[in-house]
Structure 1
Amino acid sequence: MKRLFALLLPIFIFLSACSTKELSSASEAKLLEHKWKQIEQEAKNTKVRMFMWGGDEGINDYMDEWVAPKLKKQYGITFERIPMDTHEILQKLLNEKKAAEEKGTIDIIWINGENFKNAKENDLLFGPITEKLPNFQKYIDTRSLNTQYDFGTAVDGLEAPWGKVQFVFLYDASKISQPPRTFAELKDWIKEHPGKFTYPDPTDFTGNAFLRHLLYEAVGGSEKLLKQGYDPQFVKNEVEKMWAYLNEIKPYLWRKGETYPNSLTELDRMYSQGEVWMTMGYNEARAESLIKNGTFPTSTRSFVLESGSIGNTHFLAIPFNSPNKAGAMVTINFLLSPQAQLEKFRPTYWGEGMSLDPNKLPEKDQQTLKQINRGKSVLSSDVLKDHLLPEVDSRYVGWLKENWLHEVARKR
């Protein structure tokens, strides 16, 4: 009898595990069928862990000092922000997917572009979720292409738009009276002020965006890339001017281009210490909080080039194995509320553009929005709108990373 029990025990354990897994999957599928009030009830007094890029103090303060207390008070949710680069987050999820780990440690990820494309193709995300989020349905322009597509990849409800940002250069007006207006003028300025300019390595999101602006210029505008789609051969035939430009300025960069900042955080530090006189980045208003806390000089201002500035919508998603999907959905819905979006728009913390359609806001919130002063370092909305450029196929991000190494970094 004992021998029979010993033989049957592994089978019982296996069947039990399969049953548990099936129940878990069924439970998750049912979550998307629940009424919103029921989802809110399930989220109460739970813990939500959000993994996100942590390289901006203003963003971190917004999440820790404003979002976390509000979630605790309104829903009893304990919010924890885990700083981690997005590609590392995806690698973690890929490993968990391969190991069939049904219960992970990540509830929400901040994601877009190439990372979203990879996550979607590898079935790393839970959803579709957006049709269940009341604030998405009420305040987002669901017909906008920026909502329906992320770097050319159909969103299909797997991520919710969190904010909109636009690329700007930041400079110290006490040292630079008139910033460059074109890439040609930027090149001349770099040569006249050796060592005072550089850009992050293109493995960094900001460094890659700097190169994408040059790519647009080299091929004759973003429209050609949008029309062509992802076509490495077309780009290869058109971009010799871009590599020539980058190699021409290389000897005049910080440390003569022998090394590059590995992140925007490092470039910001160099700017704050006066090593370089310019920095850059997505989010047209990001300098305000850094001026306020004394990191950046009060003379910091921003500019865009006449050729344009890339705008970007970024998103929030829930991993396939989030242990608290109800809490994640409630948290994302809160982050899409007019209250949270208006606070994010203020220069107090973050200052970035809203993902909400201003015309869909209640009248009171529309008036509040009009009265917010974004600060002296922020360009007017008209200037930004007039210079707005779209993102193109996310595969160009990887193409630029790889080819920059051969065409610029390793060239002597």
Structure 2
Amino acid sequence: LPWSEIEEQAQGETVSLWMYGGDEQGNAYVDNVLTPAAAEEGVTLRRVPVEDTTDAVNRILSERQADVTDGEVDLVWVNGANFGTGKQAGAWLCGWTQNLPNMDFTDPEDPLLSSDFGVPVDNCEAPWHKAQFTLVYNAATVPDPPTTFEGVLDWAQANPGRFTYPAPPDFTGSVFVREALVGTSGGVEEVPAAFDQDTYDRLTPNLFDRLNELAPSLWREGTTYPQSSSELDALYAGGQVDMTMTYGPATLPQLVADGTYPPETRVLTLDDGTVGNASFLAIPSTSGKSAAAQVVANLALSPEQQLAKAMPDVWGQFTVLDVDRLTAADRAQFDALPASTVLPSYEELSSNAHPELSADWVSPLDEGWRRSVLAGQ
């Protein structure tokens, strides 16, 4: 349909956005910035917090099985395995994102926006923000930080009790294990993006041996692991460990400014790079409010919303827009985002970045870690 008709159909509708509820800044951004802007477009936005995005996917799949056409979920913050699982099962509405007016501000050649953990996006989800897996350290206690991922593991062994990582399937713990797979396999070019069992069987013995070798040097001697990235962040904030890790490093300046993190907090830029990806908004095929959901997704892509979301004191998320495609006035506002001694530019952070492995790697690695590393403690 013409965009004007989509906007007309959206008037007066309520869109239920299901999203991970454990990110306080993300919750506040949606409630205080995106929701009022949606109301100006004639759409009521209702945030539905979930503990895991899988909860939303399971609800959609149950509704599909029951032939529901006006389900409870209208929009989902999603990426990775949840997107891939849903796409394979027909959970997502496809063929709509190319019609969003604000997609014109994105780069159609950007690989992070066209592939989601190795699964082609195929106009089934609209980009929302970019992420870069980042290790974070306290420069007051780590005066000579490592410069490679293997160097991080060596540092942890040389400084017993001062490092740990979340237990998979926490998403940050999972990506740490994937980074360790790349590191112990000789580099990203040695690990094929597509999963196959023979490659898993060949590469993972070195990975799990290395993580088992590391375990006695971890916090609490590796007898227990933080159950979430939030628990690891709390250990770092409380001075119990000297490093933490995040997919959202743009939030760091605010965490330092409000005193949550020590003032000497810095980002650890690694010569071998880290994983980069993007998050998306997807519309379930069971939603009866798809027009209104498209209006919200388009709004979330607007330069105004992307700029607000990039502000460290709002949410601090990296934009998915190609700033060279913006007006001079909008470009100037992005250029004026506050610089920080804590956080390098996205360009520096994403230097030598590598794409995510396919979503099919995630569950086998998580299960292999549980069986080979956790169970051995």
1:166-181 pair list within 5 angstroms: 166-181=132-147
Contact 2:194 2:360 in 1 (8 A): no
Aligned to 2:142, the other structure's residue is in SS state coil
Percent identity reads 37
Contact 1:58 1:290 in 2 (8 A): no
User: Residue 12 of structure 1 corresponds to which residue in structure 2?
Assistant: none
Contact 2:97 2:123 in 1 (8 A): yes
Deviations 1:45-77 (A, max 9, x none): 3222111112222222221221122222x2232
Deviations 1:211-262 (A, max 9, x none): 1111111222222334x73222123212332212211111121222122122
Q: 1:246 to 1:210 in 2, by over 3 A?
A: same
Distance in 1, Cα, partners of 2:245 & 2:87: 30
Aligned to 2:232, the other structure's residue is in SS state helix
Aligned to 1:327, the other structure's residue is in SS state helix
Residue 354 of structure 1: CA displacement?
Answer: 1.1
Distance in 1, Cα, partners of 2:190 & 2:162: 33
Residue 374 of structure 1: CA displacement?
Answer: 4.1
Given the alignment, which residue of 304, 308, 319 partners 2:273?
308
Distance in 2, Cα, partners of 1:194 & 1:110: 38
Distance in 1, Cα, partners of 2:314 & 2:364: 34
1:13-412 pair list within 5 angstroms: 34-72=1-39, 74-84=40-50, 85-136=52-103, 138-226=104-192, 229-412=194-377
Contact 1:139 1:356 in 2 (8 A): yes
Distance in 1, Cα, partners of 2:191 & 2:13: 45
Deviations 1:80-132 (A, max 9, x none): 22221111211222222222222211111011111111000111111321122
Contact 2:132 2:248 in 1 (8 A): yes
Distance in 1, Cα, partners of 2:150 & 2:124: 41
Distance in 2, Cα, partners of 1:317 & 1:267: 29
Aligned to 2:287, the other structure's residue is in SS state coil
Residue ranges of structure 1 left out of the alignment (5+ in a row): 1-33
Distance in 2, Cα, partners of 1:394 & 1:367: 37
Q: 1:334 to 1:254 in 2, by over 3 A?
A: same
Deviations 1:168-221 (A, max 9, x none): 111222322222222343233323432221111120111111111111112222
Moved more, 277-286 or 310-319: 277-286
Residue 295 of structure 1: CA displacement?
Answer: 2.5
User: Residue 7 of structure 1 corresponds to which residue in structure 2?
Assistant: none
Distance in 2, Cα, partners of 1:184 & 1:160: 35
Rg larger in 1 or in 2?
Answer: 1
Contact 1:108 1:316 in 2 (8 A): yes
- Greater share of helix residues, 1 or 2? 1
Residue ranges of structure 2 left out of the alignment (5+ in a row): none
Distance in 2, Cα, partners of 1:322 & 1:296: 41
Distance in 2, Cα, partners of 1:331 & 1:241: 46
Q: If the length of structure 1 is used for normalisation, what is the TM-score?
A: 0.86
Aligned residue pairs, count: 376
Distance in 2, Cα, partners of 1:38 & 1:382: 39
Distance in 2, Cα, partners of 1:58 & 1:376: 21
Q: If the length of structure 2 is used for normalisation, what is the TM-score?
A: 0.94
Moved more, 377-386 or 157-166: 377-386
Distance in 1, Cα, partners of 2:264 & 2:14: 41
Distance in 2, Cα, partners of 1:81 & 1:291: 28
* Coordinate RMSD, CA, aligned: 1.8
Residue 318 of structure 1: CA displacement?
Answer: 0.5
Distance in 2, Cα, partners of 1:126 & 1:371: 37
